[in-house]
Copies of this chain bind each other. A is one copy, B any other.
């Protein structure tokens, strides 16, 4: 009843759903409406997607996450490549303009080639050189952006991103653990909404605030809103902080934050950071929007100023 793609060099629809994040319904309706993808069929009439079409679907998914509309991108490969290259090159040059303490190209190559040990060693070295906060706010921020762009250019795949995430997590958790502190104020509860799978942002915030003497507790990713509220009350937290990746639907983020604010008692502040909530200050007046990792520290100092004595 599983659909192992073993037969040939093609993937069944369930595998494509997993690999691309596009639902089976969406894949079928695109085929009907736009004529792409156009999978072959096996003996049973089931769709089999050739690898190159799956690659193209992954590319399309990225462009959609970037804000493009399906009618525009589910078309000719040449135009897409043009759009893609425009955006990617733009990102590339701006990032390349920043000087940095790290050889980004060499680092990306380590990720691409699965050189796990090298990867861990260079992260560890940068951490020692810069200290936890600068490491998170500068180096990891830069690396995340670079990894994202490499992914956008199709140079990296899911397992490479997993490898990177895993090694960064190891380094960060270890470093954060050595600052451990279970009595400092404020006490922050960190987590993400149910549809958000990206949890690195939580650890990076923790890396910024724990050295400042705050107490951070992470619930991990994908916590239902009601559970966030009940955990915040039960744990007597001062602040609930949410993280949103760029892929998270803006509307869902805003509605969810408003709902959560309604569920939280007056004494508990609500913070939100990440690409999906940038510049949404006006629409979220009850929520402290965190613009950057350094801004998280600023927000912490504000809280202390408001709660001293």
In the complex, what distance in Å separates the CA atom of A176 from the CA atom of B171? 11
Nearest chain-B residue to A206 (Cβ)? Answer: B170
Contact yes or no, A217 B117, CB < 8 A: yes
Shortest CB distance A11–B (Å): 11
18 additional contacts (CB under 8 A) given A114-B235, A174-B174: A2-B195, A2-B249, A18-B194, A114-B231, A114-B234, A115-B235, A117-B182, A120-B182, A158-B224, A162-B220, A163-B219, A163-B220, A165-B220, A169-B173, A170-B177, A170-B218, A171-B177, A174-B177
User: Does A180 count as interface, using CB distance less than 8 angstroms?
Assistant: yes
User: Does A121 count as interface, using CB distance less than 8 angstroms?
Assistant: yes
User: Does A22 count as interface, using CB distance less than 8 angstroms?
Assistant: no
- Copies of this protein, total: 2
Shortest CB distance A129–B (Å): 16
User: Does A138 count as interface, using CB distance less than 8 angstroms?
Assistant: no
User: Does A116 count as interface, using CB distance less than 8 angstroms?
Assistant: yes
Q: 8 smallest A-B Cβ distances: which pairs?
A: A174-B177, A114-B231, A173-B173, A159-B227, A116-B217, A166-B220, A114-B234, A162-B220
User: Does A252 count as interface, using CB distance less than 8 angstroms?
Assistant: yes
Map CB proximity to B onto A183-206 as digits: 1 under 8 Å, 0 otherwise. Answer: 000010100001100000000000
In the complex, what distance in Å separates the CA atom of A157 from the CA atom of B194? 14
**With a CB–CB cut-off of 8 A, which chain B residues contact A173?**
169-170, 173-174, 177
In the complex, what distance in Å separates the CA atom of A220 from the CA atom of B167? 9
User: Does A113 count as interface, using CB distance less than 8 angstroms?
Assistant: yes
User: Does A230 count as interface, using CB distance less than 8 angstroms?
Assistant: yes
Shortest CB distance A256–B (Å): 10
Q: How many residues of A contact B (CB 8 A)?
A: 50
Q: What's the dominant secondary structure at chain A's contact region? A: helix
Contact yes or no, A174 B178, CB < 8 A: yes
**With a CB–CB cut-off of 8 A, which chain B residues contact A292?**
none
Contact yes or no, A120 B162, CB < 8 A: no
Residues A109-135 near B (CB distance < 8 A): 113-117, 120-121, 124
User: Does A278 count as interface, using CB distance less than 8 angstroms?
Assistant: no
In the complex, what distance in Å separates the CA atom of A105 from the CA atom of B215? 26
Contact yes or no, B169 A222, CB < 8 A: no
* From A114, A195, A224, A227, residue with most partner B Cβ within 10 Å: A114
CB < 8 Å neighbour of A219 from B4, B166, B175: B166
**With a CB–CB cut-off of 8 A, which chain B residues contact A174?**
173-174, 176-178, 180
Given A120-B217, A217-B120, A219-B163, also A114-B180 (CB < 8 A) = no
User: Does A245 count as interface, using CB distance less than 8 angstroms?
Assistant: no
Shortest CB distance A209–B (Å): 15
**With a CB–CB cut-off of 8 A, which chain B residues contact A223?**
159, 162
